[in-house]
Structure 1
């Protein structure tokens, strides 16, 4: 229903014209890289580190895939030139993954060549279930080529997640993973339908990855998961340098800064770009609970 409303030409036209002023700017750091970098500087000033993400809609041809690739290269150049403390996240479908794996690999190597040149880091976002196998294949190839300069996202709500992580952890040292609950609406054949089970599995993979000695990005706004991580690292004397918390730009900003004051690394996912409307709509529509979540967190500290 949300997407059908969002897809209405009158609604979308109004929101695209006025949405940034009416509230979207809370969650999207501008339409241009320059605007986004200014926000990154402000976040850095408060002790927060960042991952930048150039927003893109569906890619239907090679020209569009190249445009998205060029934008990613510009992000890395912008980070280097401005001196901000940020890495980059991307979705491989925006680089042409649905057109061909070869095209996507070509673009990924261009991006990672630059990340390695600048000694920066690129996080590959995990997308819906249909893209998981090919994403894992590509990550394995790129991890062997680029080592510490590339990382991956793992989703707790999938049944296969623990097995996927075991295989990755047995294969690589210093494996940098972002652990999330998962935001896509998937079939109960492949994903836990109940949040209680998702939360249980999320705790399991946080503990599993940390105790294996790998770098762990705990990407959650859930106090239960944040406190679970704090207790776990304290119990096992895990150094703060082995993990970080991650949250979305504009969601619980005061909590983000409180974590920094407590001595934890706190990374903010900062999206920007002309295609912010699609991100904003999907953030709410991907899972029904997100609509309530966004509204609730607008009033939380």
Structure 2
């Protein structure tokens, strides 16, 4: 992990910095670039505009690490509301009339938002409740992977739940040393899996600190999923990696319908459009909600120059 990225992640965790970011008008344009809005309706509006361009969507209600069971129950209620509202979107209604192929608009959730810190059985019950509703709408629920403290518990819970609800999958982070083993596990499960590089601040004892090694691991794991996985999601904005994987797909005669690229809302819109024009499936991760700060700082850490520029302006007044 670069020193600049580490600095941004550590600095942004300070309460004083969080208060400054939340209050400063200088950050508002960047927040709105990465976050679709505070409300579900704002996120739906943004999603419909993207759907009209031929993109698919995964909605993410921002938040993590609930502090009480009631907070987790409230999050579950929001997840269910999302699924109900998604079912009313015209493109989704058309899909549900003949649900063939990947759904146009699904949701991503976090187990810590389901109450994992309050207890595994409690979180699993909430997770299953959401999946039951999603099943009725022919929809899919992806579990976002969080910091490495939760990886074992997340994988174990998905292993328990998937036999009852195949309409769920997860995310693997290529910077973790353990990920090759997890890739083999999700291939065995034939679970839909998103592969990402990883955005949390992890110690070198569990994750590659060097960008070059992360990139190398990412490409290798993406290729394994493309060859042997079930409808993998290749989540990257790295154009060099995308071109390498496109060549790999062509060389191995992998049909474009067997996987999708995933990209973040507000990032590389030009690349999103060009991939769609080339016939690739592309899904945009669309976050919303007022608990945007942790997600926002991870996005800033991916481009530290943005953070340094704004912090400099803030301290100049």
Structure 1 length as normaliser, TM-score? 0.90
Counterpart pick for 1:228 among 235, 240, 244: 244
What is the aligned partner in structure 1 of residue 304 from structure 2? 291
What is the aligned partner in structure 2 of residue 151 from structure 1? 169
What is the aligned partner in structure 1 of residue 49 from structure 2? 42
Task: State the Cα RMSD in Å.
Answer: 2.0
- Structure 1 position 144, deviation (Å): 1.2
CA-to-partner distance for each residue in 1:151-183, whole Å, 9 max, x for gaps? 11011111111112113323x23x211001111
Number of residue equivalences: 288
- Structure 1 position 240, deviation (Å): 0.7
Distance change in 2, residues 1:168/1:293 (3 Å): farther
- Asked if structure 2 preserves the Cα contact closer than 8 Å seen for 1:52 and 1:88, the reply is yes
What secondary structure sits across from 1:145 in the alignment? coil
What is the aligned partner in structure 2 of residue 89 from structure 1? 108
- Asked if structure 2 preserves the Cα contact closer than 8 Å seen for 1:6 and 1:12, the reply is no
CA-to-partner distance for each residue in 1:28-54, whole Å, 9 max, x for gaps? 111111111011000001111100001
CA distance in 2, matches of 1:211, 1:22: 40
- Asked if structure 2 preserves the Cα contact closer than 8 Å seen for 1:2 and 1:281, the reply is no
What secondary structure sits across from 2:202 in the alignment? coil
The answer to whether the aligner puts 1:139 opposite 2:139 as a matched pair is no
Unaligned regions of 5+ residues in structure 2, if any?
A: 1-9, 93-103, 310-317
What secondary structure sits across from 1:245 in the alignment? strand
- Asked if structure 2 preserves the Cα contact closer than 8 Å seen for 1:156 and 1:179, the reply is yes
CA distance in 2, matches of 1:263, 1:52: 23
- Asked if structure 2 preserves the Cα contact closer than 8 Å seen for 1:6 and 1:281, the reply is no
CA-to-partner distance for each residue in 1:75-116, whole Å, 9 max, x for gaps? 111100123431000111011001100110010011000111
The answer to whether the aligner puts 1:269 opposite 2:285 as a matched pair is yes
Counterpart pick for 2:127 among 99, 108, 119: 108
What is the aligned partner in structure 2 of residue 129 from structure 1? 148
Distance change in 2, residues 1:177/1:61 (3 Å): same
Distance change in 2, residues 1:293/1:88 (3 Å): farther
CA distance in 2, matches of 1:166, 1:272: 32
Unaligned regions of 5+ residues in structure 1, if any?
A: 297-301
CA distance in 2, matches of 1:31, 1:11: 19
Q: How does 1:1-301 map to 2 (within 5 A)?
A: 1-4=10-13, 7-8=16-17, 11-15=20-24, 18=25, 21-83=28-90, 84=92, 85-147=104-166, 149-170=167-188, 172-173=189-190, 175-284=191-300, 288-292=301-305
CA distance in 1, matches of 2:170, 2:161: 11
CA distance in 1, matches of 2:299, 2:66: 19
